[in-house]
Amino acid sequence: MALSRPAIPLPPPARGGSVVDVRREGFELPAHATAVAAARERVWGQLCSWGVPEDLGRTAQLVVSEFFTNAVVHTDSCRIRCRLQVCSELLRIEVCDEGGDCSEVAPRQAAAEDVDGRGLQLVGAVAERWGVRADVQQQGRVVWAELRLTVR
């Protein structure tokens, strides 16, 4: 199911008034463990249809997997929404859950023997930037990441 509202505001026109190509897609899944794999596949399919390079698509899958897993495990969400946007040189990924406190979303320092707790550190390593903000319209939160489309 595609979401009707844009992921983020449209960017300003490029110099000279030309229109910047922006592609958006969104979907919503129930907050079950099976949603993590389903979200990875939806993201992969959409990014392939947009012609995004395979390595970036795999990185996006990793980010979405981490965000969805955290929403399933750490919130009482019933539904989780995902928005993708490609614009200029960035792929923006937003995952919206029904969690409340934005301050709870932060990388933690996992001990060597821990089997989990490193996901947001991975996101921080692969993303140009990432963060969390309140989603006041949905009374939840949005965890987002931006991945660079081109190599610097």
Residue 56: what pLDDT? 94
Residue 103: what pLDDT? 53
CATH class of the 23-102+118-148 domain in this structure: alpha beta
Q: What is the pLDDT along the chain (152 residues), one digit of tens a residue?
A: 343 333 333 344 455 555 567 899 999 999 999 999 999 999 999 999 999 999 999 999 999 999 999 999 888 899 999 999 998 789 999 999 987 665 555 555 655 454 455 567 788 889 999 998 887 776 788 999 999 987 55
Residue 86: what pLDDT? 93
Contact of 25 with 46, CB cutoff 8 Å: yes
Residue 48: what pLDDT? 94
Contact of 85 with 26, CB cutoff 8 Å: no
Helices 54-74, 34-49: axis angle to 10 degrees equals 150
Residue 14: what pLDDT? 52
Q: How far apart are CA 22 and CA 33, in angstroms?
A: 31
Give the start-to-end residue ranges of the domains of the chain. Answer: 23-102+118-148
H helix or E strand, kind and range, residue 39: helix 34-49
